[in-house]
Every structure is written in structure tokens, then in C-alpha cells.
Structure 1
Amino acid sequence: MKPQYWFRWLSVQGAPRLALRLQARRGDPFAELMGGPTGCDDPYPLIERLRGHGRLLRTPIAWATFDYELCRSILRDTRFGVRTTESFNIPKPMQKLAERFPLPPNPVEPPSMLVIDPPEHTRMRKPVASAFTPRAIRRLRDRVETVTAELLNELPAGGSADLIASYAAQVPIAIISEMLGFPDEDKAMFLAWGDQMTPLLDVGIPWRAHRKALLAMEVMNDYLDRHIERLRREPGADILSSLVTAGELDSFALKATASLLMGAGFETTVNLIGNGVAQLLAHPDQLERLRAEPDLWPNAVEEILRFDSPVQTTARTALTDVEIDGVLVREGNTVVLSLAGANRDPAVFADPGRFDVGRGNAKDHLSFSSGIHVCLGGGLARMEGVYALQSLFEQFPDLRLGGVPSRRELFTLHGYQRLPVQLGRRAPAPEPSSV
């Protein structure tokens, strides 16, 4: 491990980690939400406590809001830009120390479109957007159906399984791998890299997690170098081949884009599927309603996204002095936007703590963000979620938990590490149509 990585962790993760831990010991609910296992496992009681402190509150490391209208307006406000880790009230000397130790291309640093503003953001996003249009998503439906059916056939009827490892993770990784032209046999590698690198989306992660993430980043960088060179010689029909042959992005930008698409195309959907299974098993009345009214499945996915958001938070930094709700937010200050809090705002969603697959405005959630940084793959994630969940519960009607599920100890991404189930009997295949 390169020694400069330790200095980088100290500057961008270690300092906020210390501040969060000190504040958590003093009983600060925001610090506990961002940095404690309680917040990762069940963040909603802490979110409701924080909501009671007002629409916009000052915390030790940033401003924060749990209010739907404030979150939505800030996401769409051009006076705010996307966050960088350095914007979380980290002292200037620590920021400069971090800048001395750049990382390989990755999803959480420029030129990844996740963390850049226009005009650079427009330049990076435009060539990728065509792969996620409604028409492009419709073309992927048959492949999603096929992948889902193959995975379900491999699950042992009458046996047990960890639905995250054997199903929820496998559906999106198969699709995004094909979209990027990756060989099928490399999927296990991508899953491991994703698991190791996603903590970088959090603030104040421990050194060990940071070290694993950077090691994975180095290995992935070498892999992408070889993969992109292969695509230069033998381009395919995938989106990464299109980006390579277009020649608009240099090698560094290509790798940053590929790593972002790989992570974003996987992480949201695996959490959506896992959270959906857990919520439907915890609310059998809602599952029965879906069996009686299968046309509600798309709306049920929206309610899962609202009720237990796979992405809990994002942040924006003021590009100029901005007055919000009567409070002056200075240029350079960061506002943490709780998407999970917005999605349970009682001013927008009636009885927000109730899981209701028939909720009329479920689709108004902010789980895919809003504004120019709205998630490119939102339509794909929705489609994958509908097929994966509906097919699972139709094929295994007696599905039940087979142990205690375990959450991932992450703040930004909210999902399960393990989801043990007893599958029960496999439903007989439907009779072929006589028409």
C-alpha cells in the first residue's frame, strides 16, 4: 500500500471521522446518523428526531435538511454544485494535503460526472445518456427477463439461499456488464470491487475500509486499461465501445465513466431488490394485494424506493452566498440533503411511515435525485426491480426469511449485506396459451 494513501485518508476521512465520533459521544443525532451503526441499520428514528430541529439545521461538518421541498429545490438550483469530500468543513491544509495524492480514475472524484458541474458535467453525461433513454431501456427488457428467469431456475426449490449474493446482486451486474462489454466470467470480480469501493461515498470511513477501497481501485484501473485497449482493437455494440470509438474522452475519463456506470448500474438496484424483498415479507398484507392486483408492481417499486431508499443522502455545495428558508448559506458551505428524510416528509406523503404499494404519489420520491444530476439509470433500475421482485414472489409463493438479515454498515447506500431466506416450493409453470 502506497504511504500517500494513508495521508489522503487522514486528510479527507480521518478528520471528519474524528469530528463525527466526538459529536456522537455528545449525543448528536446527526453524527450518529452519519457515522454510527444505529444510523446504518435503521436511520428513520434519527431522521425524525432531526426533522424536529427545523427545515435547515447546522451540524458540526455541514448544513443539513430533511425537508422534501428544500431538498428538491436545492437539487435543481444552479447556485449549488455537487459536493466533493473536501467541502465538508475540512481545514485548508488538510485539503491541500489530499490534492498532493491523486487517485486512479474512480466514481467519486473528477472527472466522474457524479462530482462535476456544467459545462464539464454536460460534456461527460451527453455521450452516455443515449444508453439510458426510454427506448434503450425497452430494448433491454427481454434480456432482463431472461437473466431473471435463469437466476430463479438456479435457486433450490425447498432450500435456502442468501438472496443478495444469489439473486439481487446477480440481476443488475449481468445487465451492466453486458452494457459495458465485460466478459461474463468477470462478474464476480466486479461484485467484489463494488463491495470494497462503495464506502468511499461515505464521510469518515475507517482506515481499513479506505485501504481496501483504494486497493480495489488500483486493480480495477489496471483491468480497465486492458479492457479499453481490447475495445479499441475489437469494438462491440456496447456503450463503452461507443465511447472508445467516438474518441471524445481520454483514457482517464473513459475509466472514470466506466467505473461510475459499473457502480451506479449495480448498487442502487441490488439495494432496491433486497430492500423490496425485506419490506414485502415484513408487510404480508401488501404482498397479498400485489398478488391480487399484479398491475400494482411498478407502483410497489416506487413505494419501496420511497419507503426504504437505496440511496439515503447526497450533498450540494453553495457556489455563491445563498439564502435558504431565511438562513444565509455562505459560498463554499455544504448542505447534506437527506433523500430518505425527504421521502418520508409528512408534508408531501400522508402517513409516511406506512408502507403502501398503492400509494398515489409514491413516484414523487427523490431516491434518484433531481435536476441535472438525476440518476441516468433510474429507468433501468425501476424495470429491473419490477421484473426481479414480481418474478421471485410468483415463482416462490411461500418465500420467507430464513434467518436475521444483516445491513451493510454504510450511510449513503442503504441495503443488505445478507438476506437469508427459505425459498419453499416452486410454483408450477403457467399453462401455455392455446391461442
Structure 2
Amino acid sequence: MSRTPPAAPPVDRDQRRRWTVVHGALLGAARRRAREGVPAAELVVSPEPETGPGPAWDRMREHRPFAPGPAPGMLVTAHYDVAREVLVSDEFGMLPPAAGPLGPLSAPSLVTLDGDAHSHHRRLLTRAFTPRVVAGWREQCVAVVDTLLDALPAAADADGTVDLVDAFARPLPLRLIAEVLGLPAHGSEIPAELPHWGDAATAGLDGGLTWERFVEMEEGVAALRGWLDEQVTAIGAHGGEGLLARLAEGGTTHDDLVVTALFLVGAGYETTMHLLAGSALQLARLPEEAARLRAEPAGWPSAVEELLRMCGPVTRAVRRAKADVEFQGAHVPAGTVVEVLVTAANHDPAAFPDPWTFRPGRERPHLALGRGAHHCLGAALARMEATVALPALVERFPELTPVDEPVHWSPNTLVRGRMRVPVRL
């Protein structure tokens, strides 16, 4: 006797439309262009090819200042000098806010604002990320790092292997960004699902998501939005500590507080997680450099800058021409979307000789934290976390050794990193 298969759940037409406009069209165009051999499109379809992205970047650099983008109407650059000029230019602006439910790209997210609106909103948030304020977080960061390092040996499996992502690099920035925001409020607890929701918020900043990944992202963002809505309501009723409470006291609306928190979790959690994990792996592969830094700790700030260049997880910055512009000999029509490939620019051999080699003290500044009006809001916080966490890790475990296994990359492409970094302590 045959059984009738269960009916498939109905497709949310509005959700499908959102995916098609923001992600599906780009993904379809990239697949077509990848078959034509366009390097930028190949990296959208397969973000981490077996050869690594280097050969594709080299092919893009054959075009100057821009190479063809992954879709019609898009351009990309892998040149350091071009990338830096685009990032500081007033002739290129941000893309408009995304339609749909509140998310990390909804207005007034910093990455959707330009001009006076951006300056105003950024000024409100900057108060929580000034070097002086961040210095005040250092003691808390040291305490969290010590607690996590104390627990690392117990987290190792029978052969002494521990995953630095889950045991170290993930919890540190998650705890600190929650503290900066003033979460959780009024004695509630951080939900166990927060890392998963944070990953979804980071995916919400991405482009070219598959339908399955898009649905997963929207579900995670909805759950995070629901929790943040409760937290903001509690802060509004009873006050609190941290950035959200200060913004609420200044008159920021409920929805704007939720969007601000969504953006800062999406932009400030997984980025630092991948920076710490990737940097730790790099140092484990370079035991002589790690030993030198243990012997000469004054070299750590320079080493962290080189690790940001080499291991910075933000792969690109997206801009749009505000009007027709002549740029380094190229005509860029109004509305053209330009992708600045940050990781490619940071490995441009014209700017960084022997770019795949760890060499602190390079002449040029990297672009890992951006440039211009939209440079990373949390740059001081990220640097502080790295300069606390990495020295403590290599000092506590001087024989840290990487464990070879197949690489599991995060499904996000804007913020890129390994989901596991197994090491022996």
C-alpha cells in the first residue's frame, strides 16, 4: 500500500522575492560568468578553490584599475592602491538598505548610510569604541582570556587535540561584544543559541547566498531579533549599562536600537573570531616567530598588524558610484557597484613584496580594517583583543602545534574563516 508523501511546506513568496532580488540574481549571473572564465565570478561560485584565491587575484590584476565583476554592472579591483583610493573617495558610497524584516543591513545600519546621516549615527556609536573606552575593557578581556586558557586542557580530546575556534576564538569576542552592548540585561542569561544567531547576523551582511543559506540566515536573524527586542524593551523599562542603554537615554528609537545591536553583533563577533583563530594557526605554523615574540613582547603590536594583513577575515568592501566618475583612466557610470577585494589588496605583491610571508614592520598600512569614513568602528577593540589573546595563548602553550585535517570554511563569504582550527597544546 503506497503512502502519499507529506506536502512540502508552502514557500513564503515575499521571502523568495527578497532572496531573488538580493542574492539569487547575483548568484545566477556569477554562475554564468564563471563558465566564461571571469575570475571574480569564479570566486563567488567557489570562494576557496583548491589552488586558493591567489591565481584568480593575479588574473584580476591584469586589468587596471578594475576587472569585470561577478555580474553585469559590477567591477572589482585586487590592486592595493586602487582599493585604498576607492575606500577614501567621496565619489563612491554605500548601497541602500535592504528591504524586508529588520536585520543588520536595515537603516540606520552604518554600512547603508553616507554623508551627514552616517556621520551622525557613527558619532553616537563611536563613544563606545574610542581608544580610551576600549582601554577600560582590557582588564575584562584579560580575565576572559585567562579563564578560557585555563579551561583549554580539559577541552582537549583523548589525543590532546582541541579546537581553538569553539574553545577560545569564539567565546572571547562574543562575551566582549555582549558586554559592550550591555547584554544580557537585568540578570537574564546569554542564550546558548547566541553563537548560531551571531553567525546568521554575519550572513545577513553577505551577498550571493544560496536559497538554503538565505532561509537559514533569516531564521537565525529572526531569533536574534526576537531576543534583542526583549532586551531593548527591558533596558527601556529599567535602564541598564552599556551602549544600548546610553543610546536609549539619548532618544534612539526601539527599532534603531535593535538594528544597531544586530549590526554590531554581525560585524563585531565573527570577524574577531576568525582573526584570532587564523592568527593562532599562523603562529602555530611559525614556531620560531612565536618564540621570538615570547622573547621580545614589544614586537606584538607590529605582529598583530601583519596578522591582520594576512589573516583579516573581511574579504571585500562594496561601494557604488554616486555619479559618473573618471577614475584612474576608467569611466565608471553612476550606479556601478565596485567590489574592493580587501584580502586580495592585502596580498598585492606590488604593495607587499612576498605577500604570503609573515613579515612584521611592512611599510604600507593594510586595509583589513578599511579606510576612510567607513573604516571599522571596532578597530581599537579588535586590536586590543588580539594583543591580549594571542600573546597569552603562545605564552601559556609554547608548543602549540597545528593538526592537519580537511579545512572546513565558514559558509559566509564576506567574513571568511575556518570553522575549526584543531591544535595540540
- Both structures adopt the same fold (TM-score exceeding 0.5): yes
SS of alignment partner, residue 398 of structure 2:
coil
2:316 aligns with: 313
Question: Which shows bigger deviation, 398-407 or 414-423?
Answer: 398-407
Q: How far 1:187 sits from its partner (Å)?
A: 5.3
Q: Once superposed, which parts of structure 1, at least 4 consecutive aligned residues long, lie more than 6 Å away?
A: none
Q: RMSD value over aligned CA atoms?
A: 2.0
Is the counterpart of residue 366 in structure 1 residue 367 in structure 2? Answer: yes
1:31 aligns with: 41
Q: How far 1:5 sits from its partner (Å)?
A: 0.5
Q: How far 1:13 sits from its partner (Å)?
A: 0.9
Q: How far 1:314 sits from its partner (Å)?
A: 0.6
For 1:28-427, what aligned pairs fall within 5 Å after superposition? Answer: 28-39=38-49, 42-61=52-71, 62-84=74-96, 102-156=99-153, 159-183=160-184, 185-186=189-190, 188-247=192-251, 249-356=252-359, 358-361=360-363, 364-404=365-405, 405-423=407-425
TM-score with structure 1 setting the length: 0.88
Query: Contact 1:408 / 1:416 at 8 angstroms: preserved in 2?
Result: yes
Q: Which amino acid aligns with 2:88?
A: R
Task: Give the fraction of aligned pairs with identical amino acids, expressed as a percent.
Answer: 36
Q: How far 1:105 sits from its partner (Å)?
A: 2.0
Q: Deviations over 1:315-374 (max 9, x none)?
A: 110111111111110111111101112212233223222212x33336x00111111111
Q: Deviations over 1:60-91 (max 9, x none)?
A: 52111111221111111111111358xxxxxx
Question: Which shows bigger deviation, 38-47 or 207-216?
Answer: 38-47
Q: Give the distance between the partners of 1:196 and 1:239, measured in 2 at CA.
A: 22
Query: Contact 2:206 / 2:412 at 8 angstroms: preserved in 1?
Result: yes
Q: How far 1:56 sits from its partner (Å)?
A: 1.4
TM-score with structure 2 setting the length: 0.90
Query: Contact 2:164 / 2:422 at 8 angstroms: preserved in 1?
Result: yes
Question: Which shows bigger deviation, 38-47 or 366-375?
Answer: 38-47
Q: Give the distance between the partners of 2:180 and 2:12, measured in 1 at CA.
A: 33
Q: How far 1:139 sits from its partner (Å)?
A: 0.5
Q: Which amino acid aligns with 2:115?
A: P
Question: Which shows bigger deviation, 368-377 or 290-299?
Answer: 290-299
SS of alignment partner, residue 212 of structure 1:
helix
For 1:7-18, what aligned pairs fall within 5 Å after superposition? Answer: 7-18=17-28
Q: Which amino acid aligns with 2:56?
A: L
Q: Which amino acid aligns with 2:254?
A: S
Structure 1 residues 131 and 197 mapped into 2: Cα distance closer, same or farther (>3 Å)? closer
SS of alignment partner, residue 386 of structure 1:
helix
Q: Give the distance between the partners of 1:187 and 1:421, measured in 2 at CA.
A: 28
Q: Deviations over 1:150-196 (max 9, x none)?
A: 11111116732211011101111111111112127315322111222
Q: Give the distance between the partners of 2:26 and 2:230, measured in 1 at CA.
A: 36
Q: Which amino acid aligns with 1:72?
A: R
- Total equivalences in the alignment: 405
SS of alignment partner, residue 361 of structure 2:
coil
Q: Which amino acid aligns with 1:35?
A: V
Q: How far 1:39 sits from its partner (Å)?
A: 4.7
SS of alignment partner, residue 412 of structure 2:
coil
Question: Which shows bigger deviation, 391-400 or 155-164?
Answer: 155-164
Which structure: greater helix fraction? 1
Q: Give the distance between the partners of 1:41 and 1:374, measured in 2 at CA.
A: 30
Query: Contact 2:306 / 2:358 at 8 angstroms: preserved in 1?
Result: yes
SS of alignment partner, residue 186 of structure 1:
coil
Q: Give the distance between the partners of 1:277 and 1:132, measured in 2 at CA.
A: 24
Q: Deviations over 1:263-295 (max 9, x none)?
A: 222122111101101211223332232223221
Q: How far 1:306 sits from its partner (Å)?
A: 0.6
